[in-house]
Amino acid sequence: MYWWLWLVLGLLLLGLLGIVWMVGAAAWSWTQHQYYVGDQDGVVTIFRGIQADVPGLDLSHPYQTTNVHVDQLDPYTARSVQGGIGAGSLDEAQRTVQRLAANQSPTTTGSSTGGG
């Protein structure tokens, strides 16, 4: 009969699924070596992964939080951080954070009213 045809089709389908799985695994692995600097809850954060919106998929996650606050940056830089600043490596992302920390405005604690 045609049992050999079903066998060949089954093997082809299995091979195709294997290729799709390998491509997906390679793509995921690549994303885990990508970093960017962004904003999480008002704090400059280094993210691991890629900055993209795919419904149902998290392509990045917070990797390292910093003590640099977005509201202490000038408006242009704050918008850049909120939009995400790409980095080629973790070292580059950390250097970006160091530059941001060096350029943040000093904070004031307590009341913002003048003393008298």
Kindly provide the b/e burial profile for residues 29-68, where b requires at least 16 CB atoms within 10 angstroms of the residue's own CB. eeeeebbbbbbeeebbbbbbbbbeeeeeeebbeeeeebeb
pLDDT of residue 92: 95
Question: Is residue 9 one of the residues assigned to a domain?
Answer: no
User: pLDDT digit string (tens) for 44-95?
Assistant: 999 999 888 788 878 889 999 999 999 999 999 999 999 999 998 999 999 9
Tell whether 113 is covered by a domain. no
pLDDT at 107: 63
Domain hosting 74: range is 30-102
| pLDDT at residue number 1 | 61
Task: Give me the pLDDT at residue 47, please.
Answer: 96
Note whether residue 64 is domain-resident. Answer: yes
Give the total number of structural domains in the chain.
1
pTM of this structure: 0.72
Q: Is residue 20 part of a domain?
A: no
Report pLDDT digits (tens) over 15-33: 999 999 999 899 888 888 8
